[in-house]
Amino acid sequence: MNNKANIQRVHIELSRVQTWLFAVPRLRAMVGANALLGETLRVVLPRLARETGRGWTLAPNNEAYPCADENDPLKDHDDPAADAKKGILSRDGGHFEAQFASGAEIFADAAGQLLHAQLPGLRFRVSIDGEARATSQVHLSTELPVLAPCEWTGRGLASEPIKQGKDEHEVSIDVKQRHDAAKDAEDWKTKDVASLLSAQTKLKTLDRPQELEKLVGDGYLALIHADGNGVGSGLGKDKSDSERAAFFHRNRVLLRRAVQKAIDEHCPDPGPAPLIPLMLGGDDLLLVARAECALPFVVTLCAELEDLQKEVTGFKLTLGVGVVFAKHTIPIHRLHEVAEQLAASAKRRFRGFKDHEAKRSVVDWAVFSTAWVDDPEEVRRRDWLRGSESELRVLSQRPVDVLGEARIDSLQGLVRGAGQLARAPRSQLRYLVEQLSRGRALSELAFAELPQEAKGLLAEAGAKEPWRRAGNAWITALLDLVEIAEIGRLGLSTVREEAVHG
């Protein structure tokens, strides 16, 4: 901490950011909302803090903050040492912090007013040296019911016209702000981290869809939520401000490098973009994608993150990842709730690793072909647990480690194995999976009666037997394996499916 008694720190924390992001359930509006958020946090608030003649003065911090990393794709936009010398201590990951020689209270009030205007509806907390100064407020609607509501959300007055293709819509001021920010993002004019990084990838040259329907076509949508494992405990206690800054800077650089690699690996050249990053924070990522590229993207992301830390001793950044697959017509906020649940499931497995075990990224996923997305825990208790306590059968291995190419109990092994099943007779595989819930004897008989070609492909995929013993239960990889093999076919019409897959 700085020892000068007159120096005060203003800290702004944004909360429930992703709920706010999905307030307008359209892809373009979500991209615009993230652009607004990033611009405000990374550009507008620092610019406000540096203004003179407003009653406040920044205080430089001369501790040894980390300099920009030459390997960082965004090295020109993330230099903690340069920021600290100007008095700006943090402007990433939903946090802004600056220290002031005078006028901290005046700045805090001005920052609160700015956030209300720039990011209406977003929750935030402003504090000075840890004591709350201002929070976001919930306003009761005073709109007259005779006036038209926003056509996109049904909330707020229809105050501004916007054009989407050939159609014109009357929307609220909030929606208009998001829409305008999305146009700037399409022109690569915004300074949020997701847009800045996307501009360093193949996405810069690809056609980016403006609606979820255009993104997925006839297929399914995947929403990926990834978050760093054990980051708080990895920092440790009693660290100086500069040590904390170096720790978080290192993590976000690692994640950006891995995300850049994964995007380039799974984007065509040329062609329409198969994925769109919605948000990229310090150690978390939110991304929508075509269903067929989502799990391979996760494998590449975590493999690159692991490769970048080959020589690392001490804390290693790993991810807990949740992926939900569904029709694009399911409300996006509901998909996000489920993706968060799945990521939490993955992180619980991570916390269960023993002290002597290597820490590693974990993933959980769920596929829904219904018109609504139910609670995944309830679905799993109902559909995956069979038999008695002495003969318990578990029909899925999830959550699983992401990496492990030779292992069928890892996502990497399952994705590789699913590729082997492309030539297998689908009807026979689906029949085999149906038998899993009916008993071990019946499923082993169905497995034994498979044609030799199908058995050979399953063996190449890593499934030489239908069941394996795991503690007090029997567990199978077949459901996971066949489900992943089928993901790319979800939503395809019968005619197109026959044309594509024969």
For residue 19, give both structure tokens: 């709920």
Tokens linked to 162: 């916007």
Distance (Å, whole) CA 166 – CA 180: 17
Looking at the chain, how many residues does it have?
A: 502
- In the chain, residues under CATH classification 3.30.70.270 are 206-375
Q: pLDDT band at 154, cuts 50/70/90?
A: low
Nearest 5°: the CA angle 332, 335, 339 is 135
Degrees to nearest 5, angle at CA 163 with 158 and 169: 30
Q: Quick check: 219 and 291 in contact, CB under 8 A?
A: yes
Burial of 500 (0-12, 13-18, 19+ CB in 10 A): exposed
Percent of the chain with pLDDT over 70: 90
- Helix/strand/coil percent split, the chain, to 5: 45, 20, 35
Give mean pLDDT, residues 164-189: 72
**Which residues does 146 contact at the CB level (< 8 Å), separation at least 6?**
none
Measured CA to CA, the distance from residue 268 to residue 215 in angstroms comes to: 14
Between CA 411 and CA 407 the distance in angstroms is 8
**Residue 275, φ and ψ in degrees, nearest 5:** -155, 155
Q: What is the pLDDT of residue 501?
A: 39
Q: What distance in Å separates the CA atoms of residue 350 and residue 345, rounded to the nearest whole number? A: 9
Whether residue 266 contacts residue 274, with contact meaning beta carbons closer than 8 Å, is answered with yes
Alpha-carbon torsion (420, 425, 427, 433), positive or negative: negative
CATH: 1.20.120, 3.30.70, 3.40.50, 1.10.3470. Which one for 1-135? 3.30.70
Distance between CA atoms of 282 and 93, rounded to whole angstroms? 5
Q: 132 in helix, strand or coil? A: strand
Q: How is residue 389 annotated by DSSP?
A: G
Q: Which residue has the tokens 């190419």?
A: 405
Residue-by-residue DSSP string for 160-179: EEEEETTEEEEE-HHHHHHH
Higher pLDDT among residues 167 and 221, named by residue: 221
pLDDT digits (tens, 9 = 90+) for 321-355: 999 999 999 999 999 999 999 999 999 999 988 87
pLDDT at 165 over 70: no
pLDDT score at 170:
73
Residue 206: predicted pLDDT: 93
The torsion defined by the Cα of 440, 443, 445 and 446, in degrees rounded to 10, comes to: 180
Cα separation, 44 vs 60, in Å, equals 19
C-beta separation of 323 from 339 below 8 A = yes
Reduced to 3 states, what is the DSSP secondary structure of residue 170?
strand
Each residue of 91-127: pLDDT tens digit?
998 999 999 999 999 999 999 999 998 898 889 999 9
Joined tokens for residue 220: 């399914």
Contact at 8 Å (CB) between 21 and 33?
Answer: yes
Is 173 a residue whose pLDDT tops 70?
A: no
For residues 143 and 155, is the Cβ–Cβ distance under 8 A? Answer: no
Give me 385's structure tokens. Answer: 């647990």
Residue 317: phi and psi, rounded to 5, are -75, 120
**Can you tell me the distance from the alpha carbon of 137 to that of 116, in angstroms, rounded to the nearest whole number?**
9
Q: Are 282 and 92 in contact (CB under 8 A)?
A: yes
- When computed from its CA atoms, the radius of gyration of the chain, rounded to whole angstroms, is 25
- Going 15 to 19 to 23 to 28, the CA torsion angle's sign is positive
One-letter amino acid of 18: Q
Q: Quote the CATH superfamily of domain 206-375.
A: Reverse transcriptase/Diguanylate cyclase domain (3.30.70.270)
CA 466 – CA 462 distance, rounded (Å): 10
| pLDDT tens by residue, 257-316 | 999 999 999 998 888 999 999 999 889 999 999 999 999 999 999 999 999 999 888 899
The letter for the amino acid at 274 is P
Question: What value does the mean pLDDT take over residues 457-463?
Answer: 93
Cβ proximity of 45 and 192 under 8 Å? no
pLDDT digits (tens, 9 = 90+) for 51-74: 999 999 999 999 999 999 999 999
Integer Cα distance of 403 and 249 in angstroms? 25
**CA dist., res. 192 & res. 39, Å (int):** 6
Task: Give the Cβ contact number of residue 350 at 10 Å.
Answer: 18
Exposed/middle/buried for 159, CB within 10 Å: 0-12, 13-18, 19+? middle
Neighbours of 166 (CB within 10 A): 5
pLDDT of residue 108: 96
3-class state of residue 39 by DSSP: helix
pLDDT at 234: 82
Q: How does the average pLDDT of the chain come out, rounded? A: 88
